[in-house]
Amino acid sequence: MRKRPTIKDVARQAGLSLSTVSLVINNSGNVSEETRNKVLRVVKELGYHPSRTAKGLASKTSGNIGLILTGDHFFQAEPFYTKIFLGTEFEARQHNYYILLTTVGKDFNPKDSVPRFLLEGNVDGVIIAGRVNEKLISYIENLHIPVILIDYELRRKRVPAVLADNRRGAQLAVSHLLSCGHRSIAFIGGDLDHPSIAERFAAYRETLIENGITPDDTLIVTEEMDTGIQNGFNAARTILNRGGMATALFAANDAMAIGCLQYLRQIGVRVPHDIGLVGFDDIEMSSHVEPRLTTVRVFKEEMGKIAVQRLVDMINSKTQTVVTMHVPVELVVRESTVGGSQEQSAAVIGAVDVLA
């Protein structure tokens, strides 16, 4: 078995001292460009990979990024956050970081529910995906560890965040239903305390009003405390039991839209012939249900990628500038709103919107 090269092997072949090679590997100290290039060339030739532990001791960093989300965000029917995790993982590799993933409960107690990597001081920065208890965010800030949020933002304090353009996405969804001739459009949503759901609901109302339609409270369900398939099933049943005359449903996410579809199929209502249906997020299941779901595509991996890039910048600069970044979305038209089998995808709306 070939022996793994060490820093001594690099120093010997480069004809330099261990301390000089260490400065180059840890990207620190006053080393000439010629010497730096020489060391890096030998490192590549030998296939040397510095010990993460040794690098951490030298640079006083761990080389790890923590990713936190609540446990109920990871479930098979709505792999939204799984895609975000993959985006963070692939981007972290480009910056020589590892992602340490953990889940937490909805409640937070600093005595018994602090993620282990925070207790051990084993991360250089933290990404929080989705909603977590705000006390946990404050706990991390008090540790003076850079933190950034994905798909969530705080209303009472400003924390760096990466969000989908929820408002624009809802405008696209409702405008599409209007263009299909629908005037009685229902909204199926979850807890409006979640900023993303609240933004989608606000844009739904605004788009109707802008088109001369007064939102009908009998066509709005926001009492569901979650946004899973069963919640969508329950919400669709609630609207129809009220006697609402909806010709189309706009669901706050795809999981709820799929739940709506299941209920409508159960009672013999045809989609899109009797009622149109639009979701939000474009999870994988949305293109496999029958009929395939018209939805708003959220670039989930891109959100994870941008969060890592921003967090690494904060780690390196040792500053936490509060910036909210909105990632563009696009409308994907499938059979749940129009007949036929052709999928149409609207152009991505604009570039990433950055708000300081």
Same structural domain, 101 and 134? yes
The vertex-245 CA angle with 242 and 248, nearest 5°, equals: 115
Domain that holds residue 259: 166-291
In the listed set 263, 291, 319, which residue is the last one of a domain according to the structure?
291
State mean pLDDT over 257-269. 96
Q: What single-letter DSSP state applies at residue 225?
A: S
Same structural domain, 21 and 88? no
Confidence of residue 348 (pLDDT cuts 50, 70, 90): very low
Same structural domain, 226 and 244? yes
State mean pLDDT over 114-121. 88
State mean pLDDT over 27-36. 80
Same structural domain, 159 and 209? no
State mean pLDDT over 114-122. 88
Check: CB of residue 173 under 8 Å from CB of residue 331.
yes
Confidence of residue 29 (pLDDT cuts 50, 70, 90): low
Domain assignment present for residue 347? The answer is: no
Domain assignment present for residue 335? The answer is: no
Q: Which residues pair with 163 in a beta bridge?
A: 326
Question: For residue 24, what is the domain's CATH number?
Answer: 1.10.260.40
Question: Is the confidence at residue 119, as pLDDT, over 50?
Answer: yes
Domain assignment present for residue 342? The answer is: no
Alpha-carbon gap, residue 257 to 247, rounded angstroms: 15
| Long-range pairs of 312-321 with CB within 8 A, sequence gap ≥ 24 | 312/95, 312/97, 312/125, 314/125, 314/146, 314/148, 314/160, 315/61, 315/124, 315/125, 315/146, 320/146, 320/147, 320/160, 321/160, 321/356
Highest mean pLDDT among 14-18, 110-114, 129-133, 214-218: 214-218
Question: Which residues, other chains included, contact 337 with Cβ-Cβ below 8 Å and sequence gap of 6+?
Answer: 176, 177, 180, 248, 272, 276, 277, 278, 294
State mean pLDDT over 114-118. 90
Same structural domain, 70 and 156? yes
Confidence of residue 50 (pLDDT cuts 50, 70, 90): low
State the chain's mean pLDDT as an integer.
87
Alpha-carbon gap, residue 159 to 205, rounded angstroms: 27
Same structural domain, 306 and 286? no
Same structural domain, 183 and 136? no
Same structural domain, 160 and 307? yes
Closest CA to 148 of 106, 196, 194, 88: 88
Alpha-carbon gap, residue 55 to 61, rounded angstroms: 8
Domain tally, the chain: 3
Only one residue has tokens 């800030």, namely 141
Report the percent of the chain where pLDDT is more than 90: 56
Three-state secondary-structure class, residue 196: helix
Same structural domain, 281 and 171? yes
Write down the pLDDT at residue 346. Answer: 47
Write down the pLDDT at residue 52. Answer: 52
The vertex-333 CA angle with 328 and 339, nearest 5°, equals: 175
Cβ–Cβ contacts within 10 Å for residue 119, how many? 9
List pLDDT tens digits, range 78-108: 578 889 999 999 999 999 999 999 988 888 8
Confidence of residue 109 (pLDDT cuts 50, 70, 90): confident
Same structural domain, 255 and 245? yes
Domain assignment present for residue 349? The answer is: no
Domain assignment present for residue 348? The answer is: no
Domain assignment present for residue 351? The answer is: no
